[in-house]
Amino acid sequence: MSVTALTVEAYTIPTDAPEADGTLAWDSTTMVLVRARAGDCVGLGWTYGPVACAAVVTDLLAPAVVGRREEDVAGAHEAMVRALRNAGRPGIAGCALSAVDVALWDLKARLLSLPLHRLLGAVRDAVPVYGSGGFTTYDHTQLERQLSDWTGRGISRVKIKIAESWGSRPDRDLDRIRQARAVVGAGTELFVDANGGYGRKQAVRMMDEAAEYDIRWFEEPVSSDDLDGLRQVRDAVRPDVTAGEYGYDLPYFRRMCAAGAVDCLQADVSRCGGITEWLRVAAVAAAHGLEVSGHCAPHLHVHVAAATVNLRHLEWFHDHVRIESTCFDGTLDPAGGVLHPDDGAVGHGLTPRTADLERYRVR
C-alpha cells in the first residue's frame, strides 16, 4: 500500500497563564498536525512551531512522500531531507520534517495493527519522566502548586526555569531555587534550566551559590551553540550539564558529543527529524557513552523512548502536556513518575478530538 495523501493543519492554543523562561516569553503555542493517509488508515504526527511549518509540509514534503510505499519510512525520510536542500533543514523545515516522519511511523504501525513501541522494538515497559515548568513568570503560589502536583503524582524529578531576564535577576533565581527545594523536599531531584541565559562564569557562580540545594541537572547554562562554554561549565559544576534541544540534524549532535559538552544529550522528536533521526541520535550518544533525554512533547517521545536502550528520561512539560491532553484522546498518566505506552492501542494510540481542536485552528 502507498501513501495516498499528506495533509496538515495548524492550531494555536493559548497558555493557561503567562509563561517565560530565561530568554523568551509567550502566551500561546502552535501545534502543526500532519495526517498521512494510506487507503482508509491515517497516521498522525505533529510539531510545535510556527504556522509556516504547514506550508513546508504541503509544498516541499508532500510531493516527496505521496506515492511511496507506506513501510518505507526511512526512504521517505531521506527523500524529504533531499527536498529540503535549498530551503535549509534547521528550524521551520526541520520541524515540518519531524511531524511528517512521526505521522509515517504511526501510519505504518496502524496498518500492521501494532503499538508503535512494539514496532520500534521496545526494551522497557515504563518510561521515566520529570516534571517541567516552573516558569519565571510564576509567583510563589503558582510555583508551589505546580511542584506539589508533580510530587503528589509520585514524580521524583522536577525542573524550574532560571536565568530570568537573561541572567539579570540572580537573587530571584536563587530565591526560586530555595523555594523549590523547600516544597519538594530532600527526596526529590531538583533540575534547573537557564535556556542559555547566563555567561560562562556566571553559570558557575550560580551553582556555587546554590550548592546547598543539591541541584542535579543544569540545562543550557550557556548558549547551546557555545560548546566550549558548555564544556567549561560542565567541568566546573556538580550537576549534570545538558543541552541538545535545538538540534535539527545528526551532525549537530555529533559535534556536541565530540566536544564533551554535556553529561546527558537532549533531543526533541518534534525538531530533530522525527523518530527516524532520534534513533540515530541515540546511537551517536551511546557511542560517546551518553544517555539521551527527550525534550518536551512527552506523547511524541514515549514510544521511541521505550525502544531506546540509553534513555535517561522524558520531560513532562506543562505546556505540551496540557495541549496534548486537550487535543487528543488516549493520553497517558505519569503516576509514579513513569509513562506506560498502551499495549492495547495501535500506533501511538492517540486520536484527535476534532471538536476541541477546531476552535484553535488557524485559518
- Cell numbers at 267, concatenated: 533531543
Verify that 108 and 140 share a domain, yes or no.
no
What pLDDT score was predicted for residue 1? 85
What pLDDT score was predicted for residue 221? 98
What pLDDT score was predicted for residue 259? 98
What pLDDT score was predicted for residue 269? 98
- CATH number at 54 reads 3.30.390.10
**d(Cα 34, Cα 43) in Å, to the nearest integer?**
8
**d(Cα 269, Cα 277) in Å, to the nearest integer?**
8
Verify that 331 and 227 share a domain, yes or no.
yes
Verify that 240 and 344 share a domain, yes or no.
yes
Verify that 146 and 179 share a domain, yes or no.
yes
Number of structural domains (the chain) is 2
State the DSSP H helix or E strand holding residue 318, giving kind and residue range, or none if neither: helix 318-327
Give the domain extent around 53.
Answer: 2-113+353-359
What pLDDT score was predicted for residue 328? 97
Cβ atoms of 70 and 111 within 8 Å: the answer is yes
Verify that 180 and 272 share a domain, yes or no.
yes
Verify that 210 and 321 share a domain, yes or no.
yes
Verify that 311 and 168 share a domain, yes or no.
yes
What pLDDT score was predicted for residue 335? 97
What pLDDT score was predicted for residue 191? 98
Verify that 104 and 231 share a domain, yes or no.
no
Q: Which stretches of the chain drop beneath a pLDDT of 70?
A: none
Verify that 98 and 139 share a domain, yes or no.
no
Helix 298-306 × helix 318-327 angle, to 10°: 90
Verify that 101 and 128 share a domain, yes or no.
no
What pLDDT score was predicted for residue 363? 87
What pLDDT score was predicted for residue 237? 98
| pLDDT tens column, 258-275 | 999 999 999 999 999 999
**d(Cα 231, Cα 262) in Å, to the nearest integer?**
7
**d(Cα 318, Cα 146) in Å, to the nearest integer?**
9
Verify that 88 and 172 share a domain, yes or no.
no
What pLDDT score was predicted for residue 225? 97
What pLDDT score was predicted for residue 72? 95
Whole-model pTM: value is: 0.96
Cβ atoms of 336 and 325 within 8 Å: the answer is no
Verify that 267 and 281 share a domain, yes or no.
yes
- CATH number at 341 reads 3.20.20.120
If DSSP codes are grouped into helix, strand and coil, which group holds residue 333? coil
| pLDDT tens column, 87-119 | 999 999 999 999 999 999 999 999 999 999 999
